[in-house]
Amino acid sequence: MKAAILEQAGKPLVIGEVDIAEPGPHEVLIRTAACGLCHSDLHFIDGAYPHAMPAIPGHEAAGVVISVGSEVRTVKPGDHVVTCLSAFCGHCEFCVTGRMALCLGGDTRRQKEGGARLTRGADKEVVNQMLNLSAFAEKMLVHEHACVAIDKAMPMDRAALLGCAVTTGAGAIFNACKLVPGEAVAIIGCGGVGLAAINAARIAGAGQVIAVDPVPEKRELAKVLGATHVVDAMAPDAAQQIIATSGGGVHHAIEAVGRQASADLAVAVLRRGGTATILGMMPLDCKVGLGAMDLLGGKKLQGAIMGMNHFPVDLPRLVDFYLRGLLDLDTLIAERITLDRINEGFDRMRAGTSARSVIIFDT
């Protein structure tokens, strides 16, 4: 199959041929239909987060099941599926207490079953699979608990966004924050994740949805997706604007960028008893904290990896929201590109002026 390979951090991805194994007992082989470009991939591509090389990035994808392993019971050939990097085992403490997004064991069993899953060349050099998926490729071989079947009426390019940006952003609203209708929420960062959180906050009935971003074009997108107010993140009085707009601070502040300053802003704009939720992948040496008066005021700080999703349940519901016209995924897609233009797409992401680029594969 053709794939975009990360040979060395800080260098452009290379399009090359890769061999993919047949499905092991708990694996699903998928023909990739669409894959979004996510800022999380860029952290690995640019070297901010370490990973074994060579590797195939990509984790926000949708496709069609080609074949399944002997023990797979959740999907079958011909199913349309969305993939998710938070593969779960179903048996550990996190899974049985409903915190499946925290499970780290979902991919362990299949790794023991069949050796290298991706290789290249006559000498069968191992190509590392990134985040259980490696979706910048014409096919994916994943654990059965890393994908879920969806309604075939769902367009594949929109479905791909559910695999990360929407699951993370909407999940933060629905699962991590458990937003109550009428509450005020500030979303800091209006990329794919932040815009999805804004859209979900509107669906959940937030009283005020305050979108915070330095880019005017993204603030305008935020208005389309449900923001009631917008604030320039670079304004010297950004925190004061948010506090004044919300009448003393927001109930929830969601950081969706991955920067120290935006995380600090999320804490600064909370009202008494409010919660700051950090979604972005910050530099590994960053720390976020609450001061003594914050703690005395009952303020809380939490992380929410992948929106603390319950993937098999959440994804079909998000598909239903889209098909019913509640969830706006069309606005999130800035462009549709082919795999050989992937580096151009990441260059636009670095510029930071548009929403999602989505790779469309010839299926």
Q: Which residues of 303-315 are buried (b: 16+ CB within 10 A; e: fewer)?
A: ebbbbbbbbbebb
Q: In a 3-state reduction of DSSP, which class is residue 158?
A: helix
Nearest of 214, 286, 197 to residue 250 by alpha carbon: 197
Residue 80 and residue 315: Cα distance in Å, rounded?
A: 12
How many Cβ atoms sit within 10 Å of the Cβ of residue 10? 8
How many residues can be counted in the chain? 363
Amino acid identity at 288: V
Task: Give the active site residues.
Answer: 38, 40, 43, 59, 164
Query: Is the Cβ–Cβ distance between 135 and 12 less than 8 Å?
Result: no
Coil, helix or strand at residue 358: strand
d(CA 89, CA 325): 33
Cα(157)–Cα(33) distance, integer angstroms: 8
CA 182 to chain centre: 26
